[in-house]
Amino acid sequence: MDNCVRREWDKELGTQSLTPIATMEERLAAWKQLSGKDIKFYFGDLQNYEFVEHVFRDFQPEAFVHFAEQRSAPYSMIDREHAVFTQVNNVVGTLNVLFAMKENTPDCHLIKLGTMGEYGTPNIDIEEGYIRIQHKGREDVLPYPKQPFSFYHLSKVHDSHNIMFTCRSWGIRATDLNQGVVYGLWTAETKRDEQLYNRIDYDGVFGTALNRFCIQAAVGHDLTVYGKGGQTRAFLDIRDTLQCIELAALHPADRGEFRVFNQFTEQFSVLELAERVQRVAGEMGLDAKIAHLPNPRVEKEEHYYHAVHTKLLDLGLQPHLLSDELIRELIETAQRYRERVDFNVIRPNATWR
Protein backbone atom coordinates (compact mmCIF):
# COMPACT_ATOMS: atom_id res chain seq x y z
CA MET A 1 0.00 0.00 0.00
CA ASP A 2 1.39 3.38 -0.92
CA ASN A 3 0.10 6.77 -2.00
CA CYS A 4 3.57 7.69 -3.34
CA VAL A 5 3.33 11.07 -1.59
CA ARG A 6 7.06 11.07 -0.81
CA ARG A 7 7.65 12.01 -4.46
CA GLU A 8 5.39 15.07 -4.01
CA TRP A 9 7.39 16.26 -0.97
CA ASP A 10 10.54 16.20 -3.15
CA LYS A 11 8.79 18.51 -5.62
CA GLU A 12 7.62 20.76 -2.80
CA LEU A 13 11.16 21.03 -1.39
CA GLY A 14 12.89 21.30 -4.78
CA THR A 15 15.05 18.26 -4.15
CA GLN A 16 15.35 14.60 -5.13
CA SER A 17 16.82 11.35 -3.95
CA LEU A 18 20.52 10.90 -4.69
CA THR A 19 19.58 7.67 -6.45
CA PRO A 20 17.00 7.77 -9.24
CA ILE A 21 13.66 6.27 -8.19
CA ALA A 22 11.69 4.30 -10.75
CA THR A 23 7.90 4.55 -10.96
CA MET A 24 5.91 2.06 -8.91
CA GLU A 25 4.91 0.21 -12.11
CA GLU A 26 8.58 -0.14 -13.11
CA ARG A 27 9.55 -1.32 -9.63
CA LEU A 28 6.84 -3.97 -9.56
CA ALA A 29 7.76 -5.14 -13.07
CA ALA A 30 11.49 -5.28 -12.20
CA TRP A 31 10.80 -7.41 -9.13
CA LYS A 32 8.54 -9.72 -11.11
CA GLN A 33 11.23 -10.19 -13.73
CA LEU A 34 13.88 -10.98 -11.11
CA SER A 35 11.85 -13.20 -8.82
CA GLY A 36 9.03 -14.46 -11.02
CA LYS A 37 6.65 -13.25 -8.29
CA ASP A 38 3.88 -10.68 -8.36
CA ILE A 39 3.50 -8.17 -5.54
CA LYS A 40 -0.10 -7.11 -5.08
CA PHE A 41 -0.12 -3.31 -4.92
CA TYR A 42 -2.85 -1.05 -3.52
CA PHE A 43 -2.55 2.67 -4.35
CA GLY A 44 -4.11 4.83 -1.67
CA ASP A 45 -3.85 6.89 1.51
CA LEU A 46 -4.15 5.54 5.06
CA GLN A 47 -6.11 8.68 5.93
CA ASN A 48 -8.91 7.32 3.71
CA TYR A 49 -10.71 4.76 5.89
CA GLU A 50 -12.69 3.21 3.01
CA PHE A 51 -9.42 2.42 1.27
CA VAL A 52 -7.82 0.95 4.39
CA GLU A 53 -10.86 -1.19 5.15
CA HIS A 54 -11.00 -2.44 1.57
CA VAL A 55 -7.39 -3.62 1.76
CA PHE A 56 -7.90 -5.43 5.06
CA ARG A 57 -11.04 -7.13 3.76
CA ASP A 58 -9.49 -8.05 0.45
CA PHE A 59 -6.04 -9.17 1.60
CA GLN A 60 -6.79 -10.54 5.11
CA PRO A 61 -3.25 -9.88 6.39
CA GLU A 62 -1.65 -11.94 9.18
CA ALA A 63 0.78 -9.09 9.79
CA PHE A 64 0.59 -5.43 8.87
CA VAL A 65 3.92 -3.58 8.58
CA HIS A 66 3.20 0.13 8.92
CA PHE A 67 5.97 2.40 7.61
CA ALA A 68 3.62 4.96 6.03
CA GLU A 69 4.26 8.06 8.11
CA GLN A 70 5.79 11.47 7.48
CA ARG A 71 9.17 10.69 9.01
CA SER A 72 11.18 13.91 8.94
CA ALA A 73 11.62 15.97 12.11
CA PRO A 74 12.70 19.13 10.21
CA TYR A 75 9.69 18.81 7.82
CA SER A 76 7.36 18.80 10.81
CA MET A 77 9.05 21.95 12.15
CA ILE A 78 8.80 24.08 8.97
CA ASP A 79 5.61 25.88 10.07
CA ARG A 80 2.12 25.32 11.48
CA GLU A 81 0.85 23.63 8.28
CA HIS A 82 3.65 21.07 8.27
CA ALA A 83 3.29 20.34 11.99
CA VAL A 84 -0.48 19.83 11.60
CA PHE A 85 -0.08 17.75 8.44
CA THR A 86 2.51 15.49 10.10
CA GLN A 87 0.45 14.83 13.19
CA VAL A 88 -2.87 14.36 11.33
CA ASN A 89 -1.32 12.13 8.67
CA ASN A 90 0.53 9.97 11.17
CA VAL A 91 -2.00 9.74 13.98
CA VAL A 92 -5.09 9.36 11.75
CA GLY A 93 -3.39 6.84 9.46
CA THR A 94 -2.47 4.63 12.41
CA LEU A 95 -5.93 4.99 13.99
CA ASN A 96 -7.53 3.91 10.69
CA VAL A 97 -5.29 0.84 10.58
CA LEU A 98 -6.23 -0.04 14.16
CA PHE A 99 -9.96 0.26 13.44
CA ALA A 100 -9.68 -1.74 10.21
CA MET A 101 -7.77 -4.47 12.06
CA LYS A 102 -10.37 -4.62 14.82
CA GLU A 103 -13.26 -4.85 12.34
CA ASN A 104 -11.74 -7.23 9.77
CA THR A 105 -8.70 -9.15 11.02
CA PRO A 106 -8.62 -9.00 14.84
CA ASP A 107 -5.84 -11.59 14.99
CA CYS A 108 -3.52 -9.60 12.69
CA HIS A 109 -0.16 -8.46 14.15
CA LEU A 110 0.56 -4.74 13.77
CA ILE A 111 4.28 -4.04 13.24
CA LYS A 112 4.55 -0.30 13.58
CA LEU A 113 7.58 1.88 12.94
CA GLY A 114 8.19 3.99 16.04
CA THR A 115 11.31 5.97 16.87
CA MET A 116 14.05 6.09 19.50
CA GLY A 117 13.38 9.84 19.45
CA GLU A 118 10.23 9.26 21.51
CA TYR A 119 12.45 8.97 24.59
CA GLY A 120 14.63 12.05 24.08
CA THR A 121 17.93 12.15 25.95
CA PRO A 122 17.20 11.50 29.66
CA ASN A 123 20.07 11.41 32.15
CA ILE A 124 19.31 7.76 32.96
CA ASP A 125 19.39 4.56 30.86
CA ILE A 126 16.61 4.23 28.27
CA GLU A 127 14.72 0.95 28.68
CA GLU A 128 12.79 -0.92 25.99
CA GLY A 129 9.41 0.73 26.21
CA TYR A 130 8.73 0.25 29.92
CA ILE A 131 10.41 1.12 33.23
CA ARG A 132 9.89 -0.30 36.74
CA ILE A 133 9.15 2.59 39.08
CA GLN A 134 8.98 2.66 42.88
CA HIS A 135 6.92 5.50 44.28
CA LYS A 136 5.83 6.12 47.87
CA GLY A 137 6.33 2.50 48.80
CA ARG A 138 4.51 1.05 45.78
CA GLU A 139 5.87 -0.34 42.52
CA ASP A 140 4.66 -0.63 38.91
CA VAL A 141 5.98 -1.21 35.39
CA LEU A 142 4.96 1.86 33.37
CA PRO A 143 5.57 3.25 29.87
CA TYR A 144 9.02 4.85 29.75
CA PRO A 145 8.76 8.69 30.04
CA LYS A 146 8.68 10.47 26.67
CA GLN A 147 10.58 13.68 25.87
CA PRO A 148 10.40 13.76 22.05
CA PHE A 149 12.61 15.98 19.87
CA SER A 150 10.04 17.46 17.42
CA PHE A 151 6.37 17.56 16.31
CA TYR A 152 7.22 14.53 14.15
CA HIS A 153 8.62 12.57 17.09
CA LEU A 154 5.57 13.66 19.12
CA SER A 155 3.29 12.12 16.46
CA LYS A 156 4.88 8.75 17.21
CA VAL A 157 4.35 9.22 20.94
CA HIS A 158 0.67 9.84 20.21
CA ASP A 159 0.61 6.69 18.04
CA SER A 160 2.20 4.64 20.81
CA HIS A 161 -0.49 5.70 23.25
CA ASN A 162 -3.28 4.93 20.76
CA ILE A 163 -1.84 1.51 19.95
CA MET A 164 -1.28 0.62 23.61
CA PHE A 165 -4.86 1.63 24.40
CA THR A 166 -6.30 -0.58 21.63
CA CYS A 167 -4.15 -3.53 22.71
CA ARG A 168 -5.59 -3.17 26.19
CA SER A 169 -9.19 -2.47 25.10
CA TRP A 170 -9.64 -4.56 21.96
CA GLY A 171 -6.96 -7.22 22.34
CA ILE A 172 -4.94 -5.99 19.33
CA ARG A 173 -1.44 -7.53 19.08
CA ALA A 174 1.22 -4.94 18.28
CA THR A 175 4.97 -4.42 18.12
CA ASP A 176 6.35 -0.88 18.17
CA LEU A 177 9.78 -0.79 16.52
CA ASN A 178 11.49 2.19 18.14
CA GLN A 179 14.07 2.64 15.45
CA GLY A 180 17.21 4.78 15.55
CA VAL A 181 18.72 6.68 12.62
CA VAL A 182 19.07 4.39 9.59
CA TYR A 183 22.13 4.49 7.33
CA GLY A 184 23.05 2.69 4.14
CA LEU A 185 21.10 2.30 0.96
CA TRP A 186 20.71 -1.21 -0.34
CA THR A 187 19.53 -4.56 0.79
CA ALA A 188 20.55 -7.72 -1.05
CA GLU A 189 17.25 -7.56 -2.99
CA THR A 190 17.20 -3.89 -3.93
CA LYS A 191 20.84 -3.99 -5.05
CA ARG A 192 19.99 -6.46 -7.80
CA ASP A 193 18.51 -3.89 -10.17
CA GLU A 194 18.77 -0.09 -10.38
CA GLN A 195 14.99 0.06 -10.76
CA LEU A 196 14.67 -1.41 -7.27
CA TYR A 197 17.09 1.04 -5.60
CA ASN A 198 15.90 2.77 -2.45
CA ARG A 199 15.88 6.49 -2.15
CA ILE A 200 18.69 8.13 -0.18
CA ASP A 201 18.21 11.72 0.90
CA TYR A 202 20.96 14.31 1.20
CA ASP A 203 18.90 17.50 1.65
CA GLY A 204 18.60 19.47 4.90
CA VAL A 205 15.01 18.33 5.51
CA PHE A 206 14.90 14.58 4.82
CA GLY A 207 18.63 13.72 4.81
CA THR A 208 19.90 12.08 8.01
CA ALA A 209 23.27 12.39 9.73
CA LEU A 210 25.60 9.63 8.48
CA ASN A 211 24.19 9.28 4.95
CA ARG A 212 24.40 13.04 4.56
CA PHE A 213 28.04 13.16 5.68
CA CYS A 214 29.04 10.47 3.15
CA ILE A 215 27.31 12.31 0.30
CA GLN A 216 28.77 15.65 1.41
CA ALA A 217 32.27 14.14 1.45
CA ALA A 218 31.75 12.76 -2.05
CA VAL A 219 30.64 16.04 -3.62
CA GLY A 220 33.07 18.35 -1.82
CA HIS A 221 30.62 19.96 0.62
CA ASP A 222 31.66 20.58 4.24
CA LEU A 223 30.30 17.97 6.66
CA THR A 224 27.39 19.72 8.40
CA VAL A 225 27.73 19.01 12.12
CA TYR A 226 25.07 20.99 14.02
CA GLY A 227 26.58 22.80 17.00
CA LYS A 228 29.15 20.91 19.08
CA GLY A 229 28.18 17.52 17.61
CA GLY A 230 28.04 15.75 20.97
CA GLN A 231 24.41 14.77 20.16
CA THR A 232 24.42 11.00 20.57
CA ARG A 233 21.85 8.84 18.80
CA ALA A 234 21.13 5.18 18.15
CA PHE A 235 22.00 3.97 14.61
CA LEU A 236 21.49 0.91 12.43
CA ASP A 237 22.21 -0.38 8.94
CA ILE A 238 19.18 -0.55 6.62
CA ARG A 239 19.78 -4.29 6.19
CA ASP A 240 19.17 -4.67 9.92
CA THR A 241 15.91 -2.73 9.63
CA LEU A 242 14.69 -5.50 7.32
CA GLN A 243 15.98 -8.24 9.62
CA CYS A 244 14.14 -6.67 12.56
CA ILE A 245 10.81 -6.47 10.72
CA GLU A 246 11.16 -10.10 9.69
CA LEU A 247 12.01 -11.18 13.24
CA ALA A 248 9.02 -9.27 14.62
CA ALA A 249 6.75 -10.91 12.04
CA LEU A 250 8.07 -14.42 12.71
CA HIS A 251 7.61 -13.93 16.48
CA PRO A 252 4.29 -12.07 16.82
CA ALA A 253 3.15 -10.28 19.96
CA ASP A 254 0.39 -11.99 21.95
CA ARG A 255 -3.23 -10.86 21.69
CA GLY A 256 -3.56 -7.74 23.86
CA GLU A 257 0.21 -7.24 24.09
CA PHE A 258 1.83 -3.91 23.22
CA ARG A 259 5.44 -4.91 22.71
CA VAL A 260 8.23 -2.36 22.27
CA PHE A 261 11.62 -3.10 20.71
CA ASN A 262 14.47 -0.59 20.63
CA GLN A 263 15.58 -1.13 17.05
CA PHE A 264 19.23 -0.13 16.64
CA THR A 265 22.65 -1.73 16.87
CA GLU A 266 25.15 1.00 17.92
CA GLN A 267 25.31 4.49 19.42
CA PHE A 268 27.42 7.32 18.03
CA SER A 269 27.77 11.04 18.51
CA VAL A 270 27.29 13.12 15.38
CA LEU A 271 30.86 14.48 15.57
CA GLU A 272 32.28 10.96 15.93
CA LEU A 273 30.50 9.97 12.70
CA ALA A 274 31.67 13.08 10.84
CA GLU A 275 35.26 12.38 11.91
CA ARG A 276 34.99 8.78 10.77
CA VAL A 277 33.63 9.81 7.36
CA GLN A 278 36.40 12.43 7.13
CA ARG A 279 39.05 9.76 7.77
CA VAL A 280 37.64 7.27 5.24
CA ALA A 281 37.20 10.05 2.67
CA GLY A 282 40.83 11.06 3.31
CA GLU A 283 41.96 7.50 2.54
CA MET A 284 40.08 7.86 -0.77
CA GLY A 285 41.98 11.07 -1.56
CA LEU A 286 39.07 13.39 -0.66
CA ASP A 287 39.63 16.40 1.58
CA ALA A 288 36.41 16.54 3.66
CA LYS A 289 36.19 19.44 6.10
CA ILE A 290 33.95 19.49 9.17
CA ALA A 291 31.85 22.64 9.63
CA HIS A 292 30.13 23.26 12.96
CA LEU A 293 26.95 25.02 11.81
CA PRO A 294 24.73 26.92 14.26
CA ASN A 295 22.33 24.25 15.47
CA PRO A 296 18.88 24.75 13.88
CA ARG A 297 17.36 22.41 16.49
CA VAL A 298 16.72 22.76 20.20
CA GLU A 299 18.52 19.73 21.64
CA LYS A 300 21.32 18.89 24.08
CA GLU A 301 24.72 18.93 22.39
CA GLU A 302 26.46 17.14 25.27
CA HIS A 303 24.58 14.54 27.29
CA TYR A 304 24.45 11.05 28.75
CA TYR A 305 23.02 8.42 26.37
CA HIS A 306 22.65 4.74 26.98
CA ALA A 307 19.72 2.81 25.52
CA VAL A 308 18.98 -0.86 26.16
CA HIS A 309 18.48 -2.95 22.98
CA THR A 310 18.42 -6.65 23.80
CA LYS A 311 15.00 -7.89 22.68
CA LEU A 312 15.76 -8.11 18.94
CA LEU A 313 19.19 -9.63 19.66
CA ASP A 314 17.41 -12.25 21.77
CA LEU A 315 15.18 -13.06 18.77
CA GLY A 316 18.29 -13.64 16.63
CA LEU A 317 19.26 -10.28 15.10
CA GLN A 318 22.75 -10.51 13.53
CA PRO A 319 23.90 -6.88 13.40
CA HIS A 320 25.80 -5.38 10.49
CA LEU A 321 28.00 -2.98 12.50
CA LEU A 322 29.20 0.23 10.87
CA SER A 323 32.27 -0.46 8.76
CA ASP A 324 34.71 1.70 6.81
CA GLU A 325 33.77 -0.42 3.75
CA LEU A 326 30.16 0.69 3.97
CA ILE A 327 31.18 4.36 4.33
CA ARG A 328 33.44 3.94 1.29
CA GLU A 329 30.63 2.32 -0.69
CA LEU A 330 28.25 5.18 0.17
CA ILE A 331 30.84 7.78 -0.86
CA GLU A 332 31.48 5.92 -4.14
CA THR A 333 27.75 5.70 -4.82
CA ALA A 334 27.38 9.44 -4.20
CA GLN A 335 30.26 10.10 -6.60
CA ARG A 336 28.44 8.05 -9.23
CA TYR A 337 25.28 10.16 -8.88
CA ARG A 338 26.95 13.47 -8.00
CA GLU A 339 25.27 15.36 -10.87
CA ARG A 340 21.93 14.81 -9.07
CA VAL A 341 23.11 16.73 -5.98
CA ASP A 342 22.00 20.37 -5.66
CA PHE A 343 24.21 22.27 -3.17
CA ASN A 344 21.38 24.76 -2.50
CA VAL A 345 19.28 22.24 -0.57
CA ILE A 346 22.03 20.84 1.66
CA ARG A 347 22.04 23.40 4.47
CA PRO A 348 19.24 23.12 7.06
CA ASN A 349 16.38 25.64 6.72
CA ALA A 350 13.72 24.64 9.20
CA THR A 351 14.49 25.91 12.68
CA TRP A 352 13.06 24.81 16.00
CA ARG A 353 12.83 28.32 17.49
Q: Which parts of this chain interact with ligand USQ (CB under 6 A)? A: 71-73, 115-117, 153, 180-181, 208-209, 212, 224-226, 231, 233-234, 270, 297, 299
86 counts as catalytic: no
- Three-class DSSP category at 171: coil
183 counts as catalytic: no
Report in angstroms how near the CB of residue 90 gets to ligand USQ at its nearest: 11
Report in angstroms how near the CB of residue 35 gets to ligand USQ at its nearest: 29
Interatomic CA distance for residues 216 and 221, integer angstroms: 5
* Pairing assessment for the beta strands 109-115 and 173-179 based on DSSP bridges: parallel
Closest CB to ligand USQ among residues 142, 298 = 298
Partners of 112 in the β-ladder: 66, 176
Please report, as a single letter, which amino acid is at residue 62.
E
In this structure, the number of other CB atoms found within 10 A of the CB of residue 36 comes to: 7
Closest CB to ligand USQ among residues 140, 342 = 342
Closest CB to ligand USQ among residues 98, 271 = 271
Report in angstroms how near the CB of residue 278 gets to ligand USQ at its nearest: 14
226 counts as catalytic: no
Q: Look at residues 114, 155, 100, 152 and name the one whose alpha carbon lies nearest to residue 258.
A: 114
Burial of residue 66, with CB atoms counted within 10 A of its CB: 0-12 exposed, 13-18 middle, 19 or more buried: buried
Please report, as a single letter, which amino acid is at residue 303.
H
From the candidates 152, 183, 202, 337, give the one annotated as an active-site residue: 152
Report in angstroms how near the CB of residue 180 gets to ligand USQ at its nearest: 4
In this structure, the number of other CB atoms found within 10 A of the CB of residue 232 comes to: 21
Closest CB to ligand USQ among residues 192, 320 = 320
Question: Residues with catalytic annotation?
Answer: 115, 152, 156
